[in-house]
Amino acid sequence: MAAQAIRLFRKMDGLFAVYKPQGVHWKHVRDSIESNLLKGTLNSCPPPAPQLAVQFQLLSSGENSSSSKDLALSPTMVPTLADHPLVTGPQFHKVHVGVGHRLDAFSSGVLVLGVGKGNGVVKVCYILYDYTLEGEFGKATDNFTDTGRVIEKTTYNHVTQDKLERVLAMIQGANQKALITYSQVDLRTQEAYELAVRGLLYPLGKSPPILMGLRCIHFNPPHFSLEVQCVNETQKYLRKLIHEVGLELRTCAVCSGVRRTRDGPFKVENALTRQYWTADSIIQAIAHFHKTTLGYLTNHSGKGTQDKY
C-alpha cells in the first residue's frame, strides 16, 4: 500500500555513515546503496490493489445477431491487467541519496550519506575531519601515491622521529597563523583570546585547507603515520602534505594511504562496512544518529563572535 511506503520514506530521512573501501569510486558506493534501499524496502511493499474494470458479458446463447430479442448483459468487475506489476514496473525508481563530503578513489574511510530530507542537513558548519595518513620515505612519484610512476629515489637513514616532529611542529605553526587570519578575529579582544585558548577558532567563509592538528602516531622508517585534523581539505592536498614533509626532511616521501576516521559526529566505529549495506541496517543507523546529529547541531551552532552561523 502507498501508506506503508510513505511511512518507510519518512523513516529513511536522515544521515548515516558508511566505510568506503579503498579503490572504489564514491559514486559506486552511492549507487549501490540507493539500489539496495529500493530493492529492500520500497519495492517490496505490496503494490496498490489493481483497478477493477466493468466488463459486460452476454448471457444469451446465440451470437450478436439482430434477430435475437432477449439479450441479457451482466456486468462483472474484473481486475485490469494494466495495473499488473509486470506492466507498470516497480513503484519507486529513485531514492534521493546524497554524499556529504566526497572521498576520492584512492582514499578510504568514513563517508557520510544523506537520504531524503537528510540531504539538506549535510552542509553544517563546524565540521572537522580527522584523517590518518600513511607515508613511506625513500621515493617520489608523479601523483604522490605509492602506485604512481616513480620519479625520484632517495636515502632516508638520516631521518629520526625528533626531526620529523620538528617539521610537523613547523607546519602546524604556519597553519595556526593561517587559521587566525581566516577566522577573521582580532586577537586583541578578550573573547577572541578565550576562544583561541580553548581551540575553538574556525575559519569563516572560503579558506584554503587548514590543519588544526597534526601529530605523528607511528614512526618505523621507511613507514610512518600521521594524524591530521583539518578543514576545507581535499585528499590530494593531504597526499601533497606527506610529500612536503619528506621534502622538509631532505628526503622524499609518498603517501600509501589516506583514511578518514572522523567526519563531524560520525566516527569509524559507527560506519557501516560492506556487508551491512542493506536496507534494514541503514534504517537502524539513521534512527541511531537521528538524536546525535540533532544534538551536534544545537551544541555547535552560532558560537561567540562568529555570529554569521
Partner 1 sequence: MHVCQRCVSLLLSRPLSAALQHSTRALHQRSHLTLLQHSTRHTLSQRHSRQTWRHFADHQAASPDVYNKIDLAQKEVVPLNSDVHRIDLDAAVHTSPLQEISEEEAVQIQVPYALPPESSTLRPYVDKSETLSKLVQLGVNLWKLEQRPNVGSMLVRLDFHADVAPSLLFLKDLGVEESKLGQLLTKNPFILTESLDNLEARVSYLKSKKFSKQSVAAMVSKAPYLLNFSVERLDNRLGFFQKQLGLSAEKARDIVTRLPKLLCGSLEPIKENLKVCELEFGFRGNEIQHIVTTVPKVLIANKRKLTQIFDFVHNTMDVPHSLVAKFPQVLNAKFLRIRERHLFLEYLGRAQYQPSQPNYISLDRLVFLPDDVFCSEVALATLEDFERFQKRL
Class of residue 303 by CB neighbours under 10 A (exposed 0-12, middle 13-18, buried 19+) = middle
Residue 22 touches partner 1, criterion: CB under 8 A: yes
Q: Measured between alpha carbons, how far is 243 from 253 in angstroms, rounded to an integer?
A: 5
**Distance of CA 270 to CAs 135, 266, 283, Å?**
26, 6, 13
Residue in 104, 130, 186, 307 annotated catalytic:
104
Asked if 104 is an active-site residue, the reply is yes
User: Which backbone phi and psi does 211 adopt, to 5 degrees?
Assistant: -95, 120
For residues 114-133, which are near partner 1 according to CB under 8 A?
A: none
Q: Measured between alpha carbons, how far is 32 from 216 in angstroms, rounded to an integer?
A: 36
Residue 19 touches partner 1, criterion: CB under 8 A: yes
69, 94, 149, 291: which one binds partner 1 (CB under 8 A): 69
Tell me the per-residue interface mask from 89 to 108 with partner 1, x by CB under 8 A, - otherwise.
x------------------x
Residue 53 touches partner 1, criterion: CB under 8 A: yes
| Closest approach of partner 1 to the CB of residue 149, in Å | 16
Residue pointed to by grid coordinates 607511528? 218
| Closest approach of partner 1 to the CB of residue 188, in Å | 45
27, 39, 84, 288: which one binds partner 1 (CB under 8 A): 84
* Closer CB to partner 1, 69 or 198, in the complex: 69
For residues 144-203, which are near partner 1 according to CB under 8 A?
A: none
Residue 24 touches partner 1, criterion: CB under 8 A: yes
DSSP assignment string, 175-207: HHHHHHHHTT--TTSHHHHHHHHHT-----SS-
Contact 20, 103 (CB under 8 A): yes
Tell me the per-residue interface mask from 246 to 275 with partner 1, x by CB under 8 A, - otherwise.
-------------x--------xx-x-xxx
Q: Measured between alpha carbons, how far is 271 from 43 in angstroms, rounded to an integer?
A: 26
Count CA within 13 A, CB hemisphere, residue 157: 1
Residue 80 touches partner 1, criterion: CB under 8 A: yes
Residue 7 touches partner 1, criterion: CB under 8 A: no
For residues 270-309, which are near partner 1 according to CB under 8 A?
A: 271, 273-275
Choose the binding region for partner 1 from 33-41, 73-81, 192-200, 215-223 (rule: CB under 8 A): 73-81
Q: Measured between alpha carbons, how far is 104 from 232 in angstroms, rounded to an integer?
A: 15
Residue 157 is given by DSSP the state T
Binding footprint of partner 1 on the chain (CB under 8 A): 19, 21-24, 53, 64, 66, 69, 71, 73, 80-82, 84, 86-89, 108, 259, 268-269, 271, 273-275
Residues marked as catalytic: 104
